[in-house]
Structure 1
């Protein structure tokens, strides 16, 4: 078995407020020859996601924090170039959670072989065919208990998760789907490409007023990726018995002056609302059903997706920071410098 090198991005310091380049470091790691049970994978794409900002803090959460001086984990997809395991042969396309590196060498049990789909980039397994879309699927259908005829509001709707939520709601028979985004271009994309019935730019007007105009009769379901003022607006717009799936609070992640207070909390009581926070790791039992349903939609052309691709493992930090600033449309991925497709 041959040796190799792996370029890896590590957490050098825990950020205060917005992360900076100084909070990260790059290491070139020598990989020895494979031992029994191992495979070596050349990554094609790695994923950068909002939850990773939370893992940079040394606080108790649903997932352990990143360890200082160690390579950051996360979703990735690549091809096997060496293997000692018959079930994970050379040439296989695999997904894994070893994250921010261009080459990974680990036990085969940490990799899942997936089929290569003609004319579909491997990065789809990090977004529309992977954990991102699974998050949208279980959040809408299992957590928020979506019902046909519901009016649905999605914050961060042009992002990787939000764009999937809106499309799934439409395909499942929503009466009306409304999204918020941070640019006029993204607002247009929501209605012209993703099938939202209405959308608004939260940076150009009062969120509550714009939501009331888009949903004058109120909303039944809110899928929250943002928190803060968006959550306040949704609480004010809910019909009786409304349900919210709380997936993220990206507006609060980098604040140093404390969290923003949420308004309209009394409506939780007076309107009989249900707000449920969730992380996708607690819903992995739904992955088979999701895979079957999403595969059907995807093959029929009923689901569309966008990606923002940044080239080079050396630019992973820039991609991550750009994603936090909302510079991406759809899924943000990094195509490693050795990527093959």
Structure 2
């Protein structure tokens, strides 16, 4: 094993919070570099993903959620890309190999065999393995079944999922792609940088009125990261046979009050029936679409057919502020902490 520092740093929840957490609700703790046990791999993390949905776990999680709630003293977690420091001979990886895993928010992680994915050279930038494009690709191809000529609406279009979803929809043959976001500045970037045909902005003219102008003939597909009034507006704009896939619920998760564990919305059932509208909840990626995505994404990145919008924040000590800013919609694309 190469020479290692004695201390590793990790981000922990310091206090339980009501409402959106602040940077001082977290602490960057110093701990001994963990020692791997039998069947474990020691990884030095290089990047980890900062994602707004942590708010729900900090607030206590919700029933049937796939991840446990975070309690004071717990270390945060999330997708990470790291370099193997040491590994058992039969683990399939060697020191220096890059792997992805779910023990981010720390400088060093001990990962059990089976808890990591070896990363080859499919992508030109290792940080791009933290993109949420695979999620968007699966939702658009398997769940929403985008077809050539479709008009596609992506809510939360400037976030980690949405900033890839619009580009992917276009590459899949969508005829018109519309995004929603929280500011005029982001709306402009969606159109000028990511190829959206139009963008609607939360907080100004009613979303429904903006959407009626942006998609006068209605929409065929919705990839919904938000819920709330934006989902209501999409139902009102749906064409016959429209396909909706629900990926996130940021309207509830990012609410200033409460725990972020509910996202109620009232929908017009008659509209759903008369328009023969289908609504599906995203069920996660499967092996088939995951393998398809890796090859497609690498090829598209190298050819320039797609970009990976992201913000890199350097240093684990700046991770709590990065989460704070992400939850308040201050960043564009995927937010990554680089170690």
TM-score over 0.5 for the pair: yes
* Alignment check: 8 A CA contact 1:158 1:186 kept: yes
Counterparts of 1:234-253 in structure 2, within 5 Å, are 234-253=234-253
1:339 aligns with: none
The count of corresponding residues between Structure 1 and Structure 2 is: 330
Give the direction of change, closer, same or farther, for the CA distance of 1:34–1:259 in structure 2 (3 Å limit).
Answer: closer
Shift of 1:38: 2.8
Counterparts of 1:227-306 in structure 2, within 5 Å, are 227-255=227-255, 256=257, 259=263, 261-280=265-284, 283-306=286-309
Shift of 1:31: 2.9
* Alignment check: 8 A CA contact 2:40 2:113 kept: yes
Q: Over the residues paired in the alignment, what is the CA RMSD in angstroms?
A: 2.2
- Counterpart secondary structure, 1:210: helix
1:101 aligns with: 106
Q: Is 1:82 aligned to 2:86, yes or no?
A: yes
* Alignment check: 8 A CA contact 1:42 1:102 kept: yes
Q: Is 1:38 aligned to 2:43, yes or no?
A: no
* Structure of greater relative contact order (alpha carbons < 8 Å, 6+ residues apart): 2
Structure 1 residues 214-235: Cα deviation after superposition (integer angstroms, max 9, x where no partner): 1000000111111111111101
Tell me the TM-score normalized by structure 2: 0.90
Shift of 1:194: 1.1
2:97 aligns with: 92
Structure 1 residues 251-286: Cα deviation after superposition (integer angstroms, max 9, x where no partner): 2114337755434343112211111112425x3442
2:22 aligns with: 20
Structure 1 residues 170-201: Cα deviation after superposition (integer angstroms, max 9, x where no partner): 11111111111222221122112211111232
Structure 1 residues 121-140: Cα deviation after superposition (integer angstroms, max 9, x where no partner): 3211101xxxx111101111
* Alignment check: 8 A CA contact 1:88 1:108 kept: no
- Counterpart secondary structure, 1:134: helix
2:214 aligns with: 214
Counterparts of 1:280 and 1:121 in 2: how far apart (Å)?
A: 24
- Counterpart secondary structure, 1:109: coil
Counterparts of 1:141-220 in structure 2, within 5 Å, are 141-220=141-220
Tell me the TM-score normalized by structure 1: 0.89
Of 193-202 and 256-265, more deviation after overlay is shown by 256-265
Give the direction of change, closer, same or farther, for the CA distance of 1:284–1:328 in structure 2 (3 Å limit).
Answer: farther
* Alignment check: 8 A CA contact 1:37 1:108 kept: yes
* Alignment check: 8 A CA contact 1:42 1:78 kept: yes
* Alignment check: 8 A CA contact 1:11 1:66 kept: no
Counterparts of 1:120-131 in structure 2, within 5 Å, are 120-127=124-131
Counterparts of 1:37 and 1:259 in 2: how far apart (Å)?
A: 41
* Alignment check: 8 A CA contact 2:99 2:117 kept: yes
Shift of 1:160: 1.4
Counterparts of 2:249 and 2:141 in 1: how far apart (Å)?
A: 20
Structure 1 residues 274-305: Cα deviation after superposition (integer angstroms, max 9, x where no partner): 11112425x34421122222233223221112
Which consecutive aligned stretches of 4+ in structure 1 deviate over 6 angstroms post-superposition? none
Unmatched tracts of structure 2, length 5 or more: none
* Alignment check: 8 A CA contact 2:49 2:335 kept: yes
Of 80-89 and 157-166, more deviation after overlay is shown by 80-89
* Alignment check: 8 A CA contact 1:31 1:105 kept: no
